[in-house]
Structure 1
Amino acid sequence: MCHPFACSVVAQRPGHVYNLRMAAKTPPTSPVEMIAALAALGEMRVWSVLITIFGDAVAARGGQVSAMTLQTILDRLRFKPEAMRVAIHRLVKDGWISRDKQGRQSYYKLSKEGRAEFLPATQRIYAEAPALAGPWQLAILPPMPEKQRGEAKKRYSDAGYLAVSPTCFIAPAGTPAPKDDQALNLDAPLAQVPNWVRETLGPPHLQIEYQQLERMLERLSRTKVTQGDEAAALRVIMIHQWRRVLLRHADLPAELLPATWRGEACRALVLQEHKRLSALADPWLDNEIGSGTAALAC
């Protein structure tokens, strides 16, 4: 199983496809259609959606949720019970969540290891603005064989640097260089950043995904929602698709990104729609899970 916070785009599940070209002509008008449209933006692995549910619906309510409530939300997203059972089994086996059996009902919560991975990502997902560091510094590698260059790239990546070319890396000023650093380190003003750097840090495929997400979020804002369970499901799938794109790149200032980058426009819409949907979703979730705001228990 892939890492729950590592997302990729692959083919949709059979029976859960929404034609984006058709969407341009017939925008979704109901919550059910909107759920299908959002699902079509990128892959919906059940185990990854479950992690989103824990983050968006469970964490603020004591951290524990019943299997029945999880399935109720997944039903709205058109996942079958057997798919949830398989995903839950894998998440428990891999140590991401723990299970507590109470009579005939099972309850689940993120494990200590799961929370360690989950909390930093949550801070980025729900932030009102990206946590931008600056000024920036460049590290330029000297000539070296390809194998050594690959090893150096991993060391710089692990140290918090972003690659803008095979031999050039960028990081917030003051970021410690990796051990055995042989690079030329320079301060990097952002006044004149070449387009090739912007396109490297904000690649075309992510630009397209943000543009598609923005269009769907605008349609979501025009979708009338009246039921709490539908609002909760819409909120989960919206956050899931936002997370799927957001966690595949670093938080960077506009000066380092292409002019067509729509990440911050999507952030504004996500926060707007999260607030709107919460008016219906939160009372329903409080009734299903509880209204406690205690920290996640160990």
Structure 2
Amino acid sequence: MKMLTSTEWIARFLTTDPPRSKSLVMTIFGDAIAPHGARLWLGSLIELVAPMGVTDRLVRTSVFRLVQEGWLVANREGRRSSYALLPEARPRFERANRRIYAPPGLNWDGRWTIVMAPNGSIDAGLRAAVRKELAWEGYAMLAPGLLAHPAADPAPLAEILDRIKGSGKVFVCSAAELPDAGSRPLGELVREGWDLSGVVADYRRFVDEFTPLLAVLREEPELAPEAAFVVRSLLIHAYRRVQLHDPMLPLELLPEPWPGSEAYALAQAIYRLAWQRAEAYLMDVLRKEDADAPDADAGFYDRFGGLR
């Protein structure tokens, strides 16, 4: 059976699973623009996403909506517009990036983070916001007003509660299993609180879609810069879409083998093969409109365990 070329793989992927324009723009900002000063001209963005089937009109609609939703801020100079990450949105991008580029599995000490909001302690609007934001962080609602997560990072929790005006209004504590108290193992709460079947299926689908691409990249002697940028962007877009629904539980509590580990290794391998030529293309595009567009910051090179 004849192996696909990278150009053929890209065309097939864009036909079978075309990315939504607004979501793709978010991916581009998080993966490509944030390390380069978090700002670019609209014309550069249009050029970057055009090879992925996103039209000028769709780009303009996407950035308009992202400004309205509090992700981007627009600036106008004469007839040109630029867009940058809103400072208030940067912690959310940074949190997402830590999840995307860091290996799965946490050094778990057996403790859980518990967030409690007893009936009547907060109003319905704040209760809904707490549940929505913490669900995105991987918390499970174990009972009304009771959310929990093993090995949760306290810094994002503090940032979330501050942003939604919940600081000082809910109870937060750390808890561990009490020995000799006749308790079920706390690890069994995973089966009670999280339905992982969808995440497992999505990881397996990602592996099936991108394993052929890795074989292609290992065979092709040199990937064209534009194709490398498209590959890198589609990879992170697809991986992000799955991974941000993963509650990021410690590996000790997950079924074995956990497909998230295989998906991470695959994404890491593809990214490492594409990133340098993708960066060359990105900088060429950015510097057409901004000769002073900065090189990637130091944190960029820590992605996927190190890119240098």
TM-score, reference length from structure 1: 0.70
Question: Does the 8 Å contact 1:128/1:271 carry over to 2?
Answer: no
| Structure 1 runs not aligned, ≥5 long | 1-24, 145-150
Q: Secondary structure at the match of 1:226?
A: coil
Q: Deviations over 1:219-256 (max 9, x none)?
A: 11122462111111111111111111111132112222
- Computed over aligned residues only, the root mean square deviation of the Cα atoms, in angstroms, reads 4.3
CA distance in 2, matches of 1:228, 1:165: 48
- Rounded Cα–Cα distance in structure 1 between residues aligned with 2:3 and 2:284: 32
Alignment of 1:14-93 (within 5 A): 28-34=4-10, 36-37=12-13, 40=16, 44-93=19-68
User: Residue type matched to 1:292 in 2?
Assistant: D
Q: Is 1:288 the equivalent of 2:285? A: yes
> Does residue 213 of the first structure (1) align with residue 206 of the second (2)?
yes
- Is contact 2:225–2:278 with CA below 8 Å preserved after alignment? yes
- Report the CA distance between 1:217 and its aligned residue: 2.2
Structure with the largest fraction of helix: 2
Aligned ranges 1:1-298 → 2 under 5 Å: 28-34=4-10, 36-37=12-13, 40=16, 44-137=19-112, 162-163=139-140, 166=143, 170-172=148-150, 187=177, 193-194=187-188, 197-198=190-191, 201=194, 203-224=196-217, 226-289=223-286, 290-293=293-296
Q: Secondary structure at the match of 2:248?
A: coil
Is the partner of 1:250 in helix, strand or coil?
Answer: coil
Judging changes above 3 Å, is the alpha-carbon distance between structure 1 residues 294 and 102 closer, same or farther for their aligned structure 2 residues? farther
CA change 1:26–1:152 in 2 (3 A) is farther
Inter-partner Cα distance in structure 2 for 1:54 and 1:130: 26
Q: 1:164 touches 1:197 (CA, 8 Å); kept in 2?
A: no
CA distance in 1, matches of 2:74, 2:295: 19
Kept in 2, the 8 Å contact 1:164–1:170? The answer is: yes
Matched residue count: 266
Deviation at 1:105, TM superposition (A): 2.9
- Structure 2 length normalisation: TM-score? 0.68
Distance 1:280 1:161 in 2: 34
Distance 2:151 2:32 in 1: 37
- Give a deviation string over 1:124-148, Cα, whole Å, max 9, x none: 1111344554313497x9xx9xxxx
Q: Which runs of 5+ in 2 are unaligned?
A: 120-125, 158-167, 287-292, 299-308
1-side partners of 2:178 and 2:27: how far apart? 37
CA distance in 1 between counterparts of 2:141 and 2:260 reads: 19
Kept in 1, the 8 Å contact 2:47–2:285? The answer is no
Asked if the contact 1:201/1:256 (under 8 Å) is kept, the reply is no
Aligned to 1:18: none
